[in-house]
Amino acid sequence: MKSKVLTTVFIVLSGLVCMAQTPEQEAAQKMMDSMMGTLPANQKAFMQQVMNMGKETEEKRIKEKELAKKKQDEINKKKAGEANKEWLWRNYTSSNAQGKFENWTHGKADIKISFSNGWNKPADFLKIGEISANGQVSIQLPKLDFRKWRRIPIAQGSGEGDYMRPSSYELEYSNKNVTYFSSLHALGAYKGEEHLGTITIGNAIKPIRHIYSLAYDRQAGDGYMAYWVFMSQANTIAGNFNGENVTVVHDLKFKPGWNLIKVRIEGTREGQNGADYWKSRYFTATTALPSDAKYFFRSAK
């Protein structure tokens, strides 16, 4: 009877001491050591086997628990990824690299830039292209006479301060008096007067959603977004910012006429609440649409 009691006690104690040592487990270890010292050699060997069995059982339980947690973490991560993908693409569809929306259902539509020529004046529109009934995008950038358009000093930004006039560092302009006309946040698809939705240029959905978003502008997502601007004269904007684990590079060389501003983000760094922030941001200008560029359409409905 005494042997059975001792065996039971040793099983319980061995299960305790095989885990990380807490004050209670240290006390259990001392009790076991004291009890072992009073046993004959044959009982001591038997109890050692019992202790080993208890330890193996507890280690197996811990491993199974860790494996179950790892499996659940993978399931949760997959669900989070699916939820994030659903959010990224909500109301969005993209063309292929040839500029065609495969499942376009809106019929023939015009691509226009909305703008206003004065405070509190109704919006006006500049047509720069079309979407055919089968979803093919075609762009025909018109020539502009700046004597008929509202002139906006480029050094003053007008909502494009991130590359025009960042608050934390200075940029160099070759021509501060140049004026421009921008399509940023203003490019859309229209069927007559009906606004079907917005159009953005880029190569991936994450930069399309994150760049210039007030809520997600720091979020990572390798790729770029781009938009058309019309420059009255040639101009360059240059300057760099190198902060703690952050780099921003401005290397914009504008030609007179239409240019495409390309904003690219890459890399990751740890942000608030464990979020991934971009590490580098590059601003460049070109006159040609990149070969991997797509059109992203966000439905207004």
Residues with Cβ within 8 Å of 93's Cβ and at least 6 positions away in sequence, in order, are: 101, 103, 296, 297, 299
Tell whether 255 and 139 lie within a shared domain: yes
- Asked which of 71, 88, 105 is the last residue of a domain, the reply is 88
Share of the chain above pLDDT 90, in %: 32
Tell whether 104 and 118 lie within a shared domain: yes
Instruction: Spell out a b/e string for 151-176, using b for 16 or more CB atoms within 10 Å of the CB, else e.
Output: ebebeeeeebebbbbeeeeebebeee
Inform me whether the pLDDT recorded for 158 exceeds 50.
Answer: no
CA dihedral 197, 201, 207, 211 (to 10 degrees): -70
Domains held by the chain: number: 2
- Asked which of 73, 88, 103 is the last residue of a domain, the reply is 88
Tell whether 220 and 277 lie within a shared domain: yes
Average pLDDT over residues 233-248: 87
Q: How much is the pLDDT for 164? A: 45
Tell whether 37 and 179 lie within a shared domain: no
Q: How far is CA 50 from CA 14, 47, 113, in A?
A: 8, 5, 80
CA distance 62 to 56: 10
Q: In the numeric block, which tokens belong to residue 3?
A: 């042997």
Q: How much is the pLDDT for 179? A: 77
Inform me whether the pLDDT recorded for 70 exceeds 80.
Answer: no
Q: In the numeric block, which tokens belong to residue 218?
A: 């720091």
Q: How much is the pLDDT for 264? A: 93
Average pLDDT over residues 215-231: 86
Tell whether 185 and 208 lie within a shared domain: yes
- Asked which of 47, 67, 88 is the last residue of a domain, the reply is 88
Strands 194-202 and 187-191: antiparallel
Residue range of the domain that includes 79: 2-88
pLDDT band at 160 (very low <50, low <70, confident <90, very high): low
Identify residue 62 by its one-letter amino acid code: I
CB 204: neighbour CB atoms within 10 A? 19
pLDDT digits (tens, 9 = 90+) for 36-56: 667 677 776 776 777 777 777
More confident residue, 190 or 46: 190
Inform me whether the pLDDT recorded for 150 exceeds 90.
Answer: no
